[in-house]
Amino acid sequence: MKLLELIRIESARLDESGVSFGHGTHSAFDEAVWLTLWSLGLPLDDLDGVADRVLSAGEVQSVRDLFDRRIRQRIPAAYLTREAWLQGVAFYVDERSIVPRSLIAEHLADGDLDELLGREPPRVLDLCTGNGSLAVLCAMAWTAARIDAADLSVEALAVAAINLERHGLQARVELLQGDGLQAVLGRCYELIVCNPPYVNAQSMAALPAEFRAEPALALDGGRDGMDFIDQMLRGVGTHLTPDGWLVLEIGHERPHFEARFGGPRGLEPIWLENSSGGDAVLAVAAADLRRWAASQPCTLGATDRPSPTPHPTPAPSS
């Protein structure tokens, strides 16, 4: 059997099985190409060069076994290969963190944020960093910037540490562990990027199995998806310079965001256009954040949590 023939057979199996995509691919054929080439140890960007390769019976069985696991267990493809890409940059990933797919990466790549800021930011925070992909992309976009990458999950930060070492950025990116902004007490930034848990309760209950395989901590935003965002917005202005900006991803939750934070005295964000449209990523200036936060009722318990500590960089896992 030729390689391309096997890819077409496995692509049809994926379609017929009803698996869900969105963890690096968006179609059965693309995922079949990825998994087949990865399984055989072939270059992932040269299908044309190997399409007519005749496979041994053992190679065919090895590929089929991988697809059997993908279909039967509904494991995201990126967890099977231990690799995912964002804006063409490769990242290690496993079940300790969600698969990187933030739309903020598009704005880092196309220069939108340079226009917003007007200059290269010397200090950047990636809040809810997960596997560290946005922190890495920020460090690549602004080579003189110092980056902090914070997350509540110790396990996710262990994955982020692997990616910092993979891209040689341990000296410029610091990992911090803590609950939201508690991880960065006393620190201030020209830019904060944040891809937080924002999925509302109804959507969480309807997630396909592949998305339920990811850590719920990184997805579940409460009843309307805004629980973490609400607490973060109340304090984030104090962590921004007077001319600083917050860039926040909220997925499909714009109606819930505007219901909670909009209105005549609400926040006045700039909505950033990307491949999903203009409803998923927003930017808010520090002055607007501080004005809005000052108008909100006080909340209890915000300062009762332990102070953050730098997260030690663990050795990469295989």
> Is there a common fold for 3-81 and 95-310?
no
**218 band by pLDDT with thresholds 50, 70 and 90:** very high
Q: H or E stretch including 146?
A: strand 146-151
Least confident of 128-132, 159-163, 267-271, 294-298: 294-298
Gap between the Cα atoms of 6 and 239, Å rounded: 53
Q: H or E stretch including 193?
A: strand 189-194
Q: What pLDDT, in 10s, does the model give residues 283-297? A: 999 999 999 999 998
Residues ≥6 apart with Cβ < 8 Å to 115: none
The 3-class secondary structure across 247-301, one letter per residue, is EEECCCCHHHHHHHHCCCCCCCCEEEEECCEEEEEEEEEHHHHHHHHHCCCCCCC
Gap between the Cα atoms of 268 and 121, Å rounded: 22
Q: What pLDDT, in 10s, does the model give residues 152-168? A: 999 999 999 999 999 99
CA distance readout (Å), 178 to 170, 174, 272, 308 = 19, 13, 28, 5
Instruction: Choose among 23, 16, 11, 65: nearest CA to 212.
Output: 23
Is the CB of residue 202 less than 8 Å from the CB of residue 234?
A: no
Per the listing, tokens 């930017």 go with: 283
Q: Domain extents for the chain?
A: 3-81, 95-310
Gap between the Cα atoms of 134 and 194, Å rounded: 9
In CATH, the architecture of 95-310 is 3-Layer(aba) Sandwich (3.40)
Instruction: Choose among 45, 40, 43: nearest CA to 55.
Output: 40
- For the whole prediction, is pTM greater than 0.85? yes
C-beta neighbour count of 232 within 10 angstroms: 21
**299 band by pLDDT with thresholds 50, 70 and 90:** low
Is the CB of residue 66 less than 8 Å from the CB of residue 113?
A: no
The residue-averaged pLDDT of 138-150 equals 97
Task: Determine the pLDDT at residue 301.
Answer: 43
Judged against a pLDDT cut of 70, whether residue 81 lies above it is answered with yes
The fold of 3-81 is Helicase, Ruva Protein; domain 3 (1.10.8)
Instruction: Choose among 149, 169, 1: nearest CA to 89.
Output: 169
